[in-house]
């Protein structure tokens, strides 16, 4: 039965825990025995491990393959939901022994064909052997080209040669690498980043550094195989895990990575029955207490149940995780009611704006003149009125008099604005202007200019161009809210996002920036500032074109890593010490109006430990559009993406 279910319908696949078993011809009995102990699915061989094609006499009855019985022994639903096939572990497709190599290729194809016939959801491929995996990857890549929806999980030991994980013994190297990420990377490159090739991580008693572990959360990890000898023993004799292992398992749960328990070299004494912290109902204590791995399952279930429930904001954003969306085109397109509705629910954003307007009003009008001076405030891009409301609430809070101009180009939103003004009785305070702020001739100049034109990358919804156009009706000593904003980028491993872009099979999608709720990504280095804009800008030769070159250093203990693109953020100063932003280190808590932006790379960049990543970003301006161009120049050059805005731009 599942480990548990968190609140608000989070039905993550990580609720289901599997068990690795040996070959058994009696599949119904094997399934029943493990199900009665609480496991949800089996990772089991499909073929008798003694079978070798070269030993079978051709043309004889012995040529009938010794699979695990007929496909009729289980129902199609049972095969599909409760069995993950385990490809024979003896195969070695890069062996120097030609007979072994040919046998391995034959068996690999036979077993995957049988698994596909059974409609299994996944098959586990054994770890590569020797110093090369070229032929193994070639055969797998051929199979992937004609495979149905089944996933192939490549078994990857979670090892890396560093001080806190391995002793540097070269005998521990696999596939010629001491960092097993490197041969996973070699394998997936040979298979062209195929979306049906995933990872099953073998979790041992020792773990690499935190930075090294972090890489895997941006990779397509589907399962974590935890060996019993990774467990410690608590004071009562039950299995438990180290704090680092617990943190890792919690990360797996949060990323829908399923846990599979497998018996290692050391098995705890489980004769004492089940753990007190178990969430399972033990209806048959005789059966479940005999299962040698039940107490491990109970501990995994305990870790799952102990996790904090998802915050309301995270529950709201579940459906958006790693889902690529095109950024808004606020000048070219009129927003729809549903979009306004979503943004207006973000109370945190508008409370920050209200704080900023309060401070600006108090600086603008001293207490002794509060009743005699009326401040002119213009909301440019008023939408359906949330900034108008926040500004009027700030005036009431500070006891200042206010005159508001609400400027909005969307005629549909203007209809709502008129209704709001009547409903709230603001007719004597608020003037609605149905016009593009860049072409409006204001009857008077403003003391305060308020806007919410910021995009995920700060300037990507053309806030600079809009506010430049509106600045002419701001007094020389007037205040702009926001007063400045800066964009940021950081390199990320994002295998899912890369494959989603790659699935379109064209240049256009690789040269487009996407808004996305980042989840299954590994952030490889702290973000760095890219472009900054300040308002009002009174310089005589101002330009909104920008260019910057950045150099990122990946921590050495991370090991090698793949950069699939760049995550982009912004941080804005609304007024003085009131800020708003999504840059991870300074992000405004509980604010959901903006997701990050993602700039993909056409060809991912593989970084070696200690090798710097040099990145160039341009903000280019034309007569009808604004666009970004980006490239990598170190460790090796990439093409310049989106040259002349050929694929992605924001229309003026």
Burial 444-474 (b: 16+ CB within 10 A, else e): eebbbbbbbbbbbbbbbbbbbbbbbbbbebb
The Cα-based distances of 263 to 36, 45, 202, 455, 615 in angstroms read 18, 15, 12, 51, 46
Among candidates 183, 112, 115, which has minimal Cα distance to 144? 112
Burial 489-522 (b: 16+ CB within 10 A, else e): bbbbbbbbbbbbbbeeeeeebbbbbbbbbbbbbb
**How far is Cα 562 from Cα 564, in angstroms, rounded to an integer?**
6
The number of C-alpha atoms within 13 Å of 495 and in the hemisphere containing its C-beta is 24
Residue 634 in contact with residue 563, Cβ under 8 Å?
A: no
The total of other beta-carbon atoms located within 10 Å of residue 254's CB is: 17
Contacts of 292 (CB under 8 A, 6+ apart): 263, 267, 270
Contacts of 110 (CB under 8 A, 6+ apart): 47, 65
- Whether the bond between 343 and the residue before it is cis, its omega within 30 degrees of 0, is no
Active site residue 424: no
Q: Could you say which of 20, 159, 219, 461 is catalytic?
A: 461
Among candidates 169, 165, 196, which has minimal Cα distance to 181? 165
Structural tokens at position 46: 């499909």
- The DSSP bridge partners found for residue 619 are 546, 628
Question: Residues at the annotated binding site for S-adenosyl-L-methionine?
Answer: 340, 349-350, 408, 436-437
Q: Could you say which of 159, 219, 452, 465 is catalytic?
A: 452
**How far is Cα 267 from Cα 63, in angstroms, rounded to an integer?**
38
**How far is Cα 486 from Cα 352, in angstroms, rounded to an integer?**
17
SS3 content of the chain, % helix, strand, coil (to 5): 35, 25, 40
CA angle 268, 274, 276 (to 5 degrees): 115
Angle between helices 98-117 and 134-145 in degrees, nearest 10: 30
The total of other beta-carbon atoms located within 10 Å of residue 403's CB is: 17
Strands 83-86 and 41-45, how do they pair? parallel
- The DSSP bridge partners found for residue 433 are 407
- Whether the bond between 497 and the residue before it is cis, its omega within 30 degrees of 0, is no
The total of other beta-carbon atoms located within 10 Å of residue 117's CB is: 12
Structural tokens at position 131: 């110093």
Residue 22's region, left for phi above 0, alpha for psi from -120 to 50, else beta, is beta
**How far is Cα 652 from Cα 138, in angstroms, rounded to an integer?**
49
Contacts of 56 (CB under 8 A, 6+ apart): 62, 63
Active site residue 452: yes
Question: Residues at the annotated binding site?
Answer: 340, 349-350, 408, 436-437
Structural tokens at position 269: 């004494």
Quick one: three-class SS letters along 35-102? HHCCCCEEEEECECCCCCHHHCCCCCHHHCCCECCCHHHCCHHHHHHHEEEECCCCCCCCCCCHHHHH
Active site residues: 452, 461
């Amino acid at each position: 039965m599942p480990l548990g279910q968190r609140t608000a319908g989070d039905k993550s696949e990580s609720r289901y825990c599997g068990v690795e078993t040996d070959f058994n011809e009696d599949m119904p009995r094997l399934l029943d025995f493990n199900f009665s102990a609480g496991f949800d699915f089996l990772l089991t061989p499909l073929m008798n491990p003694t079978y070798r094609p070269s030993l079978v006499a051709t043309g004889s009855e012995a040529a009938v393959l010794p699979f695990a019985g007929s496909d009729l022994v289980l129902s199609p639903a049972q095969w599909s939901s409760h069995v993950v096939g385990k490809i024979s572990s003896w195969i070695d497709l890069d062996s120097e022994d030609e007979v072994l190599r040919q046998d391995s290729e034959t068996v690999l194809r036979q077993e995957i064909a049988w698994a596909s016939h059974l409609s299994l959801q996944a098959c586990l491929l054994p770890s590569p052997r020797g110093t090369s995996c070229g032929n193994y990857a070639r055969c797998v890549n051929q199979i992937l080209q004609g495979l149905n929806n089944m996933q192939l999980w490549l078994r990857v030991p979670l090892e890396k040669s560093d001080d806190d994980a391995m002793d540097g013994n070269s005998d521990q190297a696999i596939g010629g690498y001491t960092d097993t990420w490197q041969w996973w990377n070699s394998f997936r490159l040979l298979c062209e980043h195929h979306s049906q090739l995933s990872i099953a991580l073998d979790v041992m008693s020792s773990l690499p550094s935190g930075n090294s572990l972090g890489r895997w959360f941006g990779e397509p990890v589907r399962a974590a195989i935890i060996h019993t000898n990774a467990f410690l023993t608590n004071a009562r004799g039950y299995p438990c895990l180290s704090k680092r292992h617990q943190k890792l398992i919690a990360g797996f749960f949060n990323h829908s990575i399923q846990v599979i328990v497998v018996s290692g070299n050391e098995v705890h004494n489980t004769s004492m029955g089940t753990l007190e912290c178990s969430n399972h109902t033990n209806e048959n204590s005789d059966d479940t207490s005999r299962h040698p791995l039940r107490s491990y399952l109970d501990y995994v279930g305990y870790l799952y149940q102990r996790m904090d429930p998802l915050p309301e904001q995270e529950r709201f954003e579940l459906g958006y995780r790693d889902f690529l969306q095109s950024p808004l085109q606020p000048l070219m397109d009129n927003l729809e009611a549903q979009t306004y509705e979503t943004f207006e629910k973000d109370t945190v954003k508008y409370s920050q704006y209200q704080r900023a307007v309060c401070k600006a009003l108090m600086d603008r009008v001293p207490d002794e003149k509060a009743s005699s001076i009326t401040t002119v405030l213009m909301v440019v891009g008023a939408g359906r009125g949330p900034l108008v409301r926040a500004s009027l609430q700030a005036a009431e809070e500070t006891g200042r008099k206010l005159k508001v101009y609400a400027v909005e180009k969307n005629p549909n939103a203007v209809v709502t604005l008129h209704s709001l003004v009547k409903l709230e009785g603001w007719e004597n305070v608020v003037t609605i202007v149905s016009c593009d702020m860049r072409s409006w001739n204001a009857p008077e100049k403003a003391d305060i200019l308020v806007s919410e034109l910021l995009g995920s990358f700060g300037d990507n919804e053309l806030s600079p161009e809009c506010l430049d156009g509106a600045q002419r009706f701001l007094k020389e000593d007037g205040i702009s809210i926001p007063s400045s904003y800066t964009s940021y980028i950081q390199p990320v491993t994002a295998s899912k996002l890369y494959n989603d872009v790659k699935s379109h099979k064209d240049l256009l999608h690789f040269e487009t920036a996407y808004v996305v709720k980042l989840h299954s990504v590994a952030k490889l280095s702290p973000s760095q500032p890219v472009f900054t804009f300040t308002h009002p800008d009174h310089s005589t030769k101002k330009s909104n074109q920008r260019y910057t070159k950045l150099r990122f250093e990946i921590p050495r203990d991370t090991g090698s890593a793949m950069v699939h693109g760049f995550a982009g953020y912004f941080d804005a100063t609304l007024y003085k010490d009131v800020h708003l932003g999504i840059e991870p280190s300074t992000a405004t808590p509980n604010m959901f109006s903006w997701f990050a932006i993602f700039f993909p790379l056409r060809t991912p960049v593989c970084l070696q430990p200690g090798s710097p990543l040099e990145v160039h970003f341009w903000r280019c301006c034309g007569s009808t559009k604004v666009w970004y161009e980006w490239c990598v120049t170190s460790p090796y050059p990439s093409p310049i993406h989106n040259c002349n805005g050929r694929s992605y731009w924001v229309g003026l």
